[in-house]
Amino acid sequence: MIDHNASCPYCGKTLDADATFCSRCGKNIFSAGSSPSTTYQHNQAAGTPPHVENYLVWAILATIFCCLPFGVVAIVYAAQVNSALAAGNYELAVRNAENARKWCWVAFWTGLAGALFYALLFFAGSCASALY
């Protein structure tokens, strides 16, 4: 990055090749060259692929115990998390995981509301039969 005849990115003074700090303004010239985005890309290329929670277990549980149609939607999104990760599309995997989580909750609350509704019907039915 810093070759011979390198210049300070802050004040433009010509510096030695092995200079770490600018002799005129005193700034660290190495910190200017490495931006956060380049180190991020470096980590992604070198490191292991990031783990994304795929909510598949929750989606299946929601399908069985709560609400089948919404649970199936959650399962579909959960399955797409792994395929997106396998394709190396981290952002798509995260987006699918968020959708899977969202539909798990939709299925959960729908199932809960349905259970409450039937409990209410049962309660109302037993009250009505007690009256007659």
Q: Which residue among 7, 14, 24, 122 contacts Zn ion (CB under 5 A)?
A: 24
Helices vs. strands in the chain: H and E counts, helices first: 5, 2
42 sits near Zn ion (criterion: CB under 5 A): no
Residue pair 93/85 in contact by the 8 Å Cβ criterion: yes
Widest CA span of the chain, in angstroms?
101
Q: Which residue among 2, 6, 10, 60 contacts Zn ion (CB under 5 A)?
A: 10
Nearer to Zn ion, 8 or 93 (CB): 8
32 sits near Zn ion (criterion: CB under 5 A): no
- Exposure string of 32-51, with b = 16+ CB inside 10 Å and e = fewer, is eeeeeeeeeeeeeeeeeeee
57 sits near Zn ion (criterion: CB under 5 A): no
90 sits near Zn ion (criterion: CB under 5 A): no
Q: Which residue among 7, 16, 21, 25 contacts Zn ion (CB under 5 A)?
A: 25
Tokens of 110: 């729908």
15 sits near Zn ion (criterion: CB under 5 A): no
